[in-house]
Amino acid sequence: MKYKITQLKPFINNKEVQAIKTPIRNNFITEGSQSKKFLKKLLKITGSKYGVLAPNGTLAIAVSIMSLGLKKRDEIIIPNFTFYGSYSAAILAGLKPILCDVDRKNFQIDVDSAEKIITSKTKAIMPVHIYGGAVNMDKILKFSKKHKLKIVEDAAQALGVKFKGKSAGTFGDVGAFSFYADKALTTGEGGLIVTDSKKIFQQLRLIRNQGRLKSGSFVHKNLGYNFKFNDVLAAIGLAQLKKFKLIKKRKLEIYKEFKNNLKDLKEVQFFKPINGSNFVPFRVPIIVKNLKKLMIFLENSKIQTRGFFYPLHSQGGVNKNYKKNKKSELFFKNSIYGNENGLALPCYPTLKTKDILFICKKIKDFYVK
C-alpha cells in the first residue's frame, strides 16, 4: 500500500548529501577524523567523560554489557516492555535476561516488579528509557545499590532526554544510544556507548577493535571484535547535530498538536513522562480503545500505523522460558496492557500540521459516530 502518511521519515536533506563528500574527498571512509569529531560533540551533549561509537544500538548495548566483566549466565533484569534488541544484546553478551514488568502510567521499568525476581545470580539491571521520556533513575540507583547490581542503561530512544537535569544514559555504569533511522538523531545505523569509568572505557576500546587499543597493529591484548563506526555515517551525524535543537523542538510541537486536537476524546489517553524528566518524543504514544479496529480504519485511510512493543515473554527465542498461563499474564499485566491498547502516532520533523489534522480527524471519525 502506498501511504498518504508514513510512520517514519528521517529528517535528511542536502545538508547530509554535502556532508558525506568530506570523508570521500579525504579518501578515508572508515573510522577516522569525522568519527572523532562526531563522538566529541556527542559526549558534550551527554556530559560523559568517555565514549565510543558502535555500528548500531543493539551492539552498543551488547558491548556495554561485555565491558563490565560479568560472568557467563549471570542474570540481568530487563523490562518485558522494550524492543527485542535489549534482550538479544544481553544474550549476545553471554548473560541470562530475567524479565520484569513496567509501570502502566509511563511504561518505564517497575522496580517493585524487579524486586520480585532478584536472585543470588542477579548481577545487573537494564533500565530502558522509553518513548522519549526518562526512567526514574533515583529508584534504579537505590535498587542497584541495595542489591549490588551493575547498571546498563538502554537509552536507544533517549538522546537529549534528561532526568533532573542529567542526561539519560549517564547515571549507571554504562549507557547505550541508537542512531537508527527512526531516532531523533539518525545516521541510518549507528550507536554510542558512554561511561564515566576509565576502566570500562578501556574495555570498550578493546572489545570493539579486535582486542587492541590502536588499529594497524597485529598485537591483540584481549579477545575483541570489529564493532567500529565509519566516517561516512559520522559525517551524516555531524550534519544532523546542526539541526538537533530544531528536531527536538519540532517533535515536541507535533506531540502538543496531537494532544490539543484529541484532548476531548475520552477514548484516547496520552503518554506522560515522569516528574523530573523532560520529553523528546520518539513517537506520539497514546492508549486507545478498540486498538485493532482503529488501526485497520487508519490503514484504510492510508495512514501507516504501529502499535506498542510486543511483550518479550511472548517473543520467539524468549517464550520457551515463560509459559503462557494466568501467572505470567498477571505478572506482566502492564506490558500486555500496553501492547493491547497502545498506538504510536508519527512524530518526524517534516510531518506537516495538515497531516496531523488529517490523522486526528480520522481518529475522531472512528470514535464519534
Structural domain boundaries in the chain: 14-241, 244-367
- Residue range 244-367, CATH number: 3.90.1150.10
- At residue 187, the pLDDT reads 98
Computed from CA positions of residues 229, 232, 234, 236, in that sequence, does the dihedral angle turn out positive or negative?
negative
Query: Under 8 Å CB-to-CB from 313, ≥6 apart: which residues?
Result: 80, 99, 319, 321, 322, 328, 332, 335
| pLDDT at residue number 320 | 78
> If we measure between CA atoms, which residue out of 54, 60, 61 comes closest to residue 78?
61
State the pLDDT at residue 369.
Answer: 73
**φ, ψ for residue 262 (rounded to 5)?**
-115, 5
As a whole number of angstroms, the distance between CA 265 and CA 268 comes to 6
Q: Which of 77, 81, 78 is nearest to 335 (CA)?
A: 81
Q: pLDDT averaged over the chain?
A: 96
Is residue 265 packed enough to be buried (19+ CB in 10 Å), middle (13-18) or exposed (0-12)? Answer: middle
Residues of the chain with pLDDT under 50: none
| CB burial readout 228-263, b (16+ within 10 A) else e | bbbbbbbbbbbbbbebbeebbebbbbbbebbeebbe
> What is residue 291's predicted lDDT score, i.e. its pLDDT?
98
Cell numbers for 247: 528536531
Helix H or strand E segment including 153: strand 150-154
Residue 326 confidence (pLDDT): 76
CATH of domain 14-241: 3.40.640.10
Can 14-241 and 244-367 be said to share one CATH topology? no
The pLDDT value recorded for residue 190 is 98
Separation between Cα atoms, residue 145 and residue 137, nearest integer Å? 12
The DSSP code for 314 is: G
d(CA 275, CA 163): 8
Q: Which residues pair with 192 in a beta bridge?
A: 53, 177
The whole-angstrom separation of Cα 252 and Cα 363 is: 20
Predicted confidence at residue 10, as pLDDT, reads 93
Q: How many CA atoms lie within 13 A of 232 on its CB side?
A: 8
Residue 330, judged by CB atoms within 10 A of its CB (0-12, 13-18, 19+), counts as: exposed
